[in-house]
Amino acid sequence: MNKRLKKSVEMIELRLSFKESEKGAALIVVILVLTFMLTIGMVLLTVTGTGPKVAANIRTQQQAFNSGEAGFDASWLAVENFFVNEAWTSFDGHCLNEPYGIDLPQDASYFRKLTDLELLNLLDPDDDGTCDYANVIFFKQRYHIDENGDLDIHYTYTAFLIDDEAGGGTTDPGDALLICIGVFDQGSNVTTSRLEVGLAIELPGATY
């Protein structure tokens, strides 16, 4: 083979190798683009799928919070009437102190150490829908009217008073914590919301 022919063959081989490398590079680019598009598609599917779930969770949380607010409004009115009608002159003797430890911060049964559902189960251990202890203002009280004009079983609230000095310090019968637990019950899905509001009284001529 003469030099000119040999050089031509080498040029052809070089061009072929360039074309093969270009094909390989193009294949890698296609794979990267497809991988990127697949990732974006999966993200979009995830966002589309979780969006309604997030919205539903927000709605149920809002409904549970509304139940808690309803419990606060009803309890505030009830407590106010107790004082106006002179059935109460202070919070002394009207705060929840059973089961033992529910008002004691150092105890495992302290109300702030329990979830809402644990607290409700503690007040109704036999699960008959009735609180087993005194000094509970409302227990699983229904308030929402359904389309048939009946009280809706899915919306309830529970409310009671806690002596905030029970764990130590000087007892003050002129103040207490009002605890309201709102519940939105969908059977297997139960959502709760808890409100804690400090109450204080100032009565003419009262001495504590």
d(CA 40, CA 45): 9
140 in Cβ contact with 129 (< 8 Å): yes
10 Å Cβ neighbour count for 30? Answer: 10
Residues of the chain where predicted confidence (pLDDT) is lower than 70:
1-30, 36, 41, 43-55, 203-208
Q: Are the C-beta atoms of 179 and 203 separated by less than 8 Å?
A: no
**What was the pLDDT predicted at 19?**
53
Question: Which of 165, 183, 179 is CA-nearest to residue 79?
Answer: 179
pLDDT at 156: 96
| pTM of this structure | 0.72
| CA–CA gap between residue 95 and residue 119 (Å, rounded) | 15
Predicted pLDDT of residue 117: 95
Q: How many C-alpha atoms does 188 have within 13 Å on its Cβ side? A: 0
Averaged pLDDT of the chain: 82
Q: What is the pLDDT of residues 73-112, one digit of tens each?
A: 999 999 999 999 999 999 999 999 999 999 999 999 999 9
pLDDT value at residue 52: 60
| Residue 197 host element (H or E) | strand 190-200
Structure tokens at 187: 């059977």
**Is residue 108 classed as helix, strand or coil in its secondary structure?**
coil
What is the pLDDT, as a whole number, of residue 191? 94
What integer pLDDT is reported at residue 59 of this predicted model? 87
Can you name the residues that pair with 141 across neighbouring β-strands? Answer: 157
